[in-house]
Amino acid sequence: MTGESLYPVLEPLLAQIQKPIQYVGGELNSQVKPWEDVAVHWALMYPDAYEVGLPNQGLMILYEVLNERPDALAERTYAVWPDLAALMRENAVPQFTVDGHRAVRDFDVLGVSFATELGYTNLLEALDLAGIPILAEDRDETHPVVLAGGHAAFNPEPVSDFVDCAVLGDGEQVVGDITDVVKAWKAQGRPGGRVELLARLARVEGVYVPRFYAVSYGPDGAIAAVTRTRDDVPVRVSKRTVMDLDEWPYPKTPLVPLAESVHERMSVEIFRGCTRGCRFCQAGMITRPVRERTITGIGSMVEQGLKATGYEEVGLLSLSSADHSEIGQLAKELADRYEGTNTSLSLPSTRVDAFNVTLANELSRNGRRSGLTFAPEGGSERIRRVINKTVSKEDLVRTVTTAYANGWRQVKLYFMCGLPTETDEDVLEIADLAVEVIKAGREASGSKDIRCTVSIGGFVPKPHTPFQWAGQASADTIDHRLRVLRQKINEDRRIGRSIGLRYHDGKPGVIEGLLSRGDRRVGRVIERVWREGGKFDGWSEHFSFDRWTTAAAEELAPFGVDLDWFTTRERTEHEVLPWDHLDSGLDKEFLWDDWQDALSEEEVADCRWTPCYDCGVCPTMGTEIQIGPTGRSLLPLTVV
Amino acid sequence: MARQPDGPPPPPTVQKLRIRYAKRGRLRFASHRDLARTLERALRRAQVPMAFSAGFSPHPKISYLGAAPTGAASEAEYVEIGVAERCDPEALRLALDAALPPDVAVLEVVEAGEGTGSLADRIDTSVWRVELPGVVLADLAPAVEKFLASDAVTVAKRTKNGLKDVDARAAVVGASAAEEAGCAILHMVVRQVTPAVRPDDVLAALAAVADLRPPLPPRAVREAQGRLDDTGTVADPLGPDRAVRTRCQGEHAAV
């Protein structure tokens, strides 16, 4: 008998650990379906702590979509903290789902969503706790199919030893196709065992099965070729794209945890994809084209979601929310609708222009104006042309000043460090900018009680972007630039005390870089690090740079490559990249030309408002841009 | 000049309601903060017309009284809310109970009686029942006896500032051992002092005086809270409010 609840054996352990609430399930809008009623059982994992994983929209969407099927069930599992993991090993309690407390090993499919590559060691930890062999080749037909999704799955090569499949692109429809395949194979008595199941899955559009592709390497250490080993699987695997977001209004009933999570609000995705063309941004490249949800579709999701959750804040989510074709009207009409209800609306603001301030003012009409966030990303106008996020210094200062003048007390500015072609001077301009912002802000607001927080992350080149060929800046370079920046900001204390600087050292970024652009040889490094105790690599208190560098040096040496080869080395035009056989729709030629344009500081416009610049996505994928305006509007609600 | 919220101030509190609820089952692992968040969201879903504080970030008027520790269940948790429109206490109880997770039960809602004083003043003692799986009465009874015979039993308690020595004995007004279905049960009445003496601390004290070490994690349930009177009885903290209501109803009936 499988699918039994492990709660009775888990409960005594919960009394001995920190934050036991994260393991008990029972969140509002969670569900537990009877095991025997369905043909296909999915365990969905977010490979990080519960407080980070629970609010993840992708997982919530798939959880609902799958549970709506009468022939499937889906339950959730998260990375277990080391305190409970130790007790579980001691007491032989396996990795479990938080919904039914069922053993993950009992499920047919374990789907893992990778938002970041730093979750890879947590995958190995979960597999091991679950009693599932960590190497895909050691599994038989009694083990779940281990499937990776999320943005990192666009280069799953570093984890190809551990996962059975990777799914590229939007998950809503492909999870149904996978369910159908697994259901049919089980109903037929599992013909051909695990290999046959995987071969059938490999023929589902968007599903990549690494074991059916062989990689060979040349004398220089680079990949010579990637070739399929069976002729019934595709030469290149294409991503999935969901068209018409209004047909997919998920999550309809978002999960509400009892425990505290990183996002104490409900989110509604207002569009998917982005064509701003920021060259560093993997999300903007791999999720094309832009598909908007309509204003009325958004209005009903907000309304239904608030009723179902009791949240007091709604975030209007997307990669660049101010770019929705009906955003002005949407902000006004939602603000009208929820005026006087103590419901607040927020927009993750990234673009730097005055319109964003207007929107934020509307959404905070009668609420506190505490902080507003802008993301210029690059410190100098020159580097902003390189990354294609063009905004002049004057516009930036004017926008931020407008924010202070409108009563916003704190402005956060996001930047990156270590961008291609960057020099110390580019980064030092961040200090000039922050100083000007504070001076102008003090004048505009008539108050010294304003702050500007500069938040800087180290840039990590990602697959399927124009920067996929770039040499990554070393940790030393990043640390040096952050040091000189800090010194410069602190030069004038009268201004500097109003400027906060938030940053991380460059080391985790280097490992993220290895895992992002790595190939199959990196798998050994991941396994070694995990065996030596590595997990929760996204958490500074758990991350060990030395463990990673030692493992990388020793495990990669037999192949004649090293950490630098994967990170700081600039690639040449015709090098076979580990993800070349995975099709995000973008033409490699377009990406190369865009990379060359970046180096010569040439910008490219957004194809929503200018002619198509042939990135390749729409014709390759048979998709199109879907934007409004629809001309519709939100009616006031009689009962809120 | 700092921005001020536009429009009139929020409507005032017209009625105070006192709520007794239970946390059971899996939700014994919920912390005070977890329950507070859950309760606030449930009040919104149940469309309770909460009164709010003024200012840019209005907060619903809710006062929490000392919560049972994470890991302990309770049949007697108390909270007081202020509403901006009068509510029928029983209708509110049903609506709120339906909006909360199944493991949180709203047991009673009463209107705060005029002139009966604050709820916090009516609570200074907890009544605990602790199940000790794997322990038999023959082991527990002498341990409790030894504990009660001690003047003070110092145990190390984990606090925000590290380990701290606390006397677990003085706060315990009474304790007794029993057995149900082969499982020893510790009943005790404990004063709410600062720093708090919790069931875990008393169990640590039993380990210290009699080397009683349960093989499995014990399960504590707070059965009641209230004010300890001279006779050693813990009075129901909602009693005075109920008395006022009964009197009012009586007067109405007379009209």
Comparing A637 with A481, the larger pLDDT belongs to A481
Domain ranges of chain B: 15-118, 124-235
B124 touches chain A (CB under 8 A): no
DSSP string, B126-141: EEEEEEETT--HHHHH
Q: Are A110 and A23 in contact (CB under 8 A)?
A: no
Q: Is the pLDDT of residue B210 over 90?
A: yes
- Give the nearest chain A residue to B71 (CA atoms): A15
pLDDT, position B156 = 92
CB pair distance less than 8 Å for B71 and A12: no
pLDDT in tens, A560-614: 999 999 999 999 999 999 999 999 999 999 999 999 999 999 999 999 999 999 9
> Residue A262: is its pLDDT beyond 60?
yes
Are B102 and A26 within 8 A, CB to CB? yes
Beta-carbon contacts of A475 under 8 Å, excluding residues fewer than 6 positions away, are A458, A505, A506, A507, A509, A510, A545
Could you tell me which chain A residue has the CA closest to the CA of B26? A24
3-state helix, strand, coil in chain A (%, to 5): 40, 15, 45
The predicted pLDDT at position B231 comes to: 87
B63 reaches A (C-beta below 8 A) = no
- Find the closest chain A residue to B38 by CA distance: A258
Of A12, A19, A21, the CB nearest to B217: A12
Residue B1 has pLDDT above 50, yes or no: no
CB contact under 8 A, A26 and B26: yes
- At residue B254 the predicted structure's pLDDT band, cuts being 50, 70 and 90, is very low
The neighbouring-strand residues paired with A316 are: A268
Contacts of B216 in chain A (CB under 8 A): 12
SS3 of residue B163 by DSSP:
strand
Check if the beta carbon of residue A355 is closer than 8 Å to that of residue B44.
Answer: no
In angstroms, the first-to-last Cα distance of chain B is 56
The whole-model pTM stands at 0.95
| List of chain A residues whose C-beta atoms are within 8 Å of the C-beta of residue B39 | none
Please judge whether B217 and A407 are an interchain contact, meaning their C-beta atoms are less than 8 angstroms apart: no
Indicate whether B249 pLDDT > 60.
no
| Residue of chain A with shortest Cα separation from B200 | A15
Q: Indicate the residue of A28, A308, A366 with minimum beta-carbon distance to B7.
A: A366
Tell me the residue type at B98: A
| CATH architecture, domain B15-118 | 2-Layer Sandwich (3.30)
* Residue-level pLDDT at A638: 61
The CA distance from A418 to A400, in Å, is 24
Subunit contact B26:A259, Cβ cutoff 8 A: no
pLDDT mean over A298-307:
96
Contact B34 A258 (CB under 8 A): yes
- pLDDT tier for residue A257 given thresholds of 50, 70 and 90: very high
Instruction: Indicate the DSSP class of residue A204.
Output: S
CA distance A563 to A552: 6
Q: Say how many CB pairs under 8 Å bridge A and B.
A: 71
Q: Is A258 in contact with B101 (Cβ distance < 8 A)?
A: yes
Which residues in chain B are closer than 8 Å to A369, comparing Cβ atoms? 3
Share of chain A above pLDDT 70, in %: 99
- CB proximity B99 to A under 8 Å: yes
* B11 CB within 8 Å of a chain A CB: no
Q: Going edge to edge, which strands form the sheet with A266-269?
A: A266-269, A313-317, A344-346
The answer to whether B213 contacts chain A (CB < 8 Å) is: no
SS3 sequence, A363-398? HCCCCCCCEEEEEEECCCHHHHHHCCCCCCHHHHHH
Cβ density class B4-22: b for 16+ within 10 Å, e for less: ebeeeebeeeebbbbbbbb
pLDDT confidence of B255, banded at 50, 70, 90? very low
The per-residue pLDDT for A542 is 96
Length of chain B: 255
Chain B interface, mutation test: which of A19, A32, A54, A258, most B Cβ atoms within 10 Å?
A: A258
pLDDT score at A360: 87
Say if residue A377's pLDDT is above 60.
Answer: yes
Which residues are bridge partners to A438 per DSSP?
A: none
Q: How far is the C-alpha of A338 from the C-alpha of A305, rounded, in Å?
A: 13
Q: Phi then psi for B223, rounded to 5 degrees?
A: -90, -30
Helix axes A523-531, A120-130, angle to 10 degrees: 60
H-helix or E-strand spanning residue A356: helix A354-363
Q: What three-state secondary structure class fits B79?
A: strand
Do A477 and A509 form a contact (C-beta atoms < 8 A)?
no
Q: Is pLDDT at A236 greater than 50 in this prediction?
A: yes
Provide, as residue numbers in chain A, all residues whose Cβ is less than 8 Å from the Cβ of B41. 28, 256, 309-311
CATH topology of domain B124-235: Alpha-Beta Plaits (3.30.70)
Distance from chain centroid for Cα B207: 26
CA distances from A131 to A135, A141, A158, A206, B236 (A): 12, 14, 22, 28, 51
Residue B44 to residue A310, Cβ atoms within 8 A: yes
CA distance A408 to chain B (A): 10
Q: CATH for A7-238, among 3.40.309.10, 3.40.50.300, 3.30.930.10, 3.40.50.280? A: 3.40.50.280
- Are the Cβ atoms of A25 and B26 closer than 8 angstroms? yes
B69 interfaces chain A, CB cutoff of 8 Å:
no
Per-domain residue ranges for chain A?
A: 7-238
Tokens of B168: 């677990």
Q: Is the pLDDT score of B8 beyond 90?
A: no
User: Inter-chain contact B41–A12, Cβ cutoff 8 Å?
Assistant: no
Contact B5 A366 (CB under 8 A): yes
Is residue A113 within 8 A of residue A58, CB to CB? The reply is: yes
- How close, in Å, is residue A25 to chain B by CA atoms? 8
- Tell me if B15-118 shares its fold with B124-235: yes
- Can you spell out the DSSP letters for A221-236? SSEEEEEESSTTS-SS
Asked if the C-beta of B118 comes within 8 angstroms of chain A's C-beta atoms, the answer is no
| Closest to B153 measured CA to CA, from B170, B131, B130 | B170
> Mind listing the pLDDT tens digit for each residue in A17-47?
999 999 999 999 999 999 999 999 999 999 9
Flag the least confident range among A445-454, A506-515, B76-85.
A445-454
User: What pLDDT does residue A640 have?
Assistant: 43
Q: Chain A within 8 Å of B6 (Cβ-Cβ)?
A: yes
CA distance A520 to chain B (A): 42
∠ CA A56-A255-A333, nearest 5°, is 85
Asked if residue A639 has pLDDT above 70, the reply is no
**pLDDT, chain B, mean:** 92
Residues from chain B contacting residue A16 (CB–CB below 8 Å): 217
pLDDT at site B253 = 40
Check if B127 contacts A (Cβ < 8 Å).
no
Average pLDDT over residues A96-102: 98
| CA separation for the pair A281, A352 (Å, rounded) | 16
Q: Which residue of A has its CA nearest to B133?
A: A12
